[in-house]
Amino acid sequence: MSFSDNLFKRLDEGRFLGLQVWEFSFKSLSREYGRAFLWKVVLRHPWRTLRGAFEYRRFLKRRRRKGGITHLFWEGEEDFLQKATAEEGILVGLGFCQKPFECPSRRPNHSCLYLSTLDLDQGEEWPHPICRECKVAIMGKKALAAGANMYLMTSALDIACDVMIPSLETGRNAILILCPLSVQAITLPLLICGIKGYLIEYSSGNCRDYEEWLRADRGVKEEMTTLSPGALEKVMGLLHLLASRRRGSIRFERQGNMYWPVGEPSTDGHASV
Ligand code: SF4
């Protein structure tokens, strides 16, 4: 281990200045996503960065994590869900590594043929038999009924450009499904960018160290990630609750790398699922 690795590891262990992302941040500075975040967020928005750092210190002290599910909000869960119900812009983000290897849209990318063709006013049509078993389809359909955006996460740079930077002005509520290593790394940038919600960890197939994470960031991922039954149940429960309280949509429209919910439900105010 190099001197700098050792130094930043020790800073993390000692929570220097109340933070625990020194090693990851230092390594990120030599990467495009790290430089993009530094220039477009940290240097352009120093007060938001400072506020995010204070929130992150608070998060570390009062971290609420159970069964691989982390709450990235301070109020009680019901209060947060009521707020999320009233606000626009809920995002459901899943890793491309959750796509099956036989995915007709292939991996790694932001595309899903099922989400592109889904229409809740039409009968169920599966663009490929493998989609029937795919959790992206199951969650995507529920997310659409809840009027939420869907985003298939690929690289850290794309997540910064597609999700974090656009949230700087207005904030955003999100359910993000990612590997435990990413949860540790992404929490501070999310708080700086005003993103609150749930961080749900994969229980298998996830990256185990920074080198594996870097390969996945470049799209090299030989495993398929999965959620534990409890975590999947939690995600589906949250989406079901939001769908019962919010006006849903009937289709997704792809804008850039994101799927946006569009169209009014034609029947009783909620798209049926
Ligand atoms: S539902 Fe799954 S398998 Fe089908 S296109 Fe989308 S990601 Fe691929």
Question: What is the rounded CA–CA span in Å between residue 112 and residue 150?
Answer: 10
Q: Over the stretch 147-167, which tens digit does the pLDDT of each residue have?
A: 999 999 999 999 999 999 999
Nearest to 150 by CA among 243, 231, 260: 260
pLDDT exceeds cutoff 60 at 271: no
**For a pocket test of ligand 1, which of 131, 177, 226, 259 has the largest count of ligand atoms closer than 8 A to its C-beta?**
131
Take atom 8 of ligand 1 and give the residue whose Cα is closest: 103
Place of tokens 């204070």: 54
Q: What percent of the chain has pLDDT over 70?
A: 90
Above pLDDT 90, what percent of the chain?
63
pLDDT at 273 over 50: no
Cβ 136 under 6 angstroms from ligand 1: yes
Q: Is 157 in the pocket of ligand 1 (CB under 6 A)?
A: no
Angle subtended at Cα 113 by Cα 111 and Cα 114, rounded to the nearest 5 degrees: 120
pLDDT over 80 at 14, yes or no: no
Q: Give distance in angstroms: CA of 96 to centre of ligand 1.
A: 10
State the Cα torsion 154-157-159-163 to the nearest 10°. -150
When pLDDT is averaged across residues 215-221 and rounded to a whole number, the result is 93
Taking only the tens place, the pLDDT of each residue in 93-140 is 999 999 999 999 999 999 999 999 999 888 778 999 999 999 999 999
Residue 197 has pLDDT above 60, yes or no: yes
Query: What pLDDT, on a 0 to 100 scale, did the predictor assign at position 269?
Result: 47
CB of 259 closer than 6 A to ligand 1? no
- Per mean pLDDT, which of 23-27, 60-64, 90-94, 269-273 is the most reliable? 90-94
The model's pLDDT over 36-68, given as tens digits with 9 standing for 90+, comes to: 888 999 999 999 999 998 998 888 887 777 888
Which of 219, 206, 145 lies closest to 177, judged by CA?
206
Nearest atom in ligand 1 to the alpha carbon of residue 135 is: 2
Among 105, 135, 151, 153, the mutation site with the greatest number of ligand 1 atoms within 8 A of its Cβ is 105
**Does ligand 1 lie within 6 Å of residue 103's CB atom?**
yes
Atom of ligand 1 nearest to the CA of 131: 4
Our measurement of the distance from residue 258's CA atom to the centroid of its chain's CA atoms, rounded to an integer in Å, reads: 12
For residue 14, what are its two tokens? 């000692």
Mean pLDDT computed over every residue of the chain: 88
Q: What is the pLDDT of residue 198?
A: 96
Residue 157 pLDDT: 94
Q: Which CATH architecture describes the domain 68-262?
A: 3-Layer(aba) Sandwich (3.40)
Torsion sign over Cα 29, 63, 173, 104: positive
94 lines ligand 1 (CB under 6 A): no
pLDDT recorded at residue 224: 95
> From ligand 1's centre to the CA of 106, what distance in Å?
8
Task: Please work out whether the CB of residue 199 comes within 6 Å of at least one atom of ligand 1.
Answer: no
**Of the candidates 91, 88, 146, 141, the residue with the CA atom closest to the CA atom of residue 112:** 141
**Ligand 1 atom 6, closest CA:** 112
pLDDT digits (tens, 9 = 90+) for 75-94: 899 999 998 888 877 999 99
- Rounded-to-integer distance, Cα 249 and Cα 266, Å: 9
Confidence tier at 267 by pLDDT (50, 70, 90): low
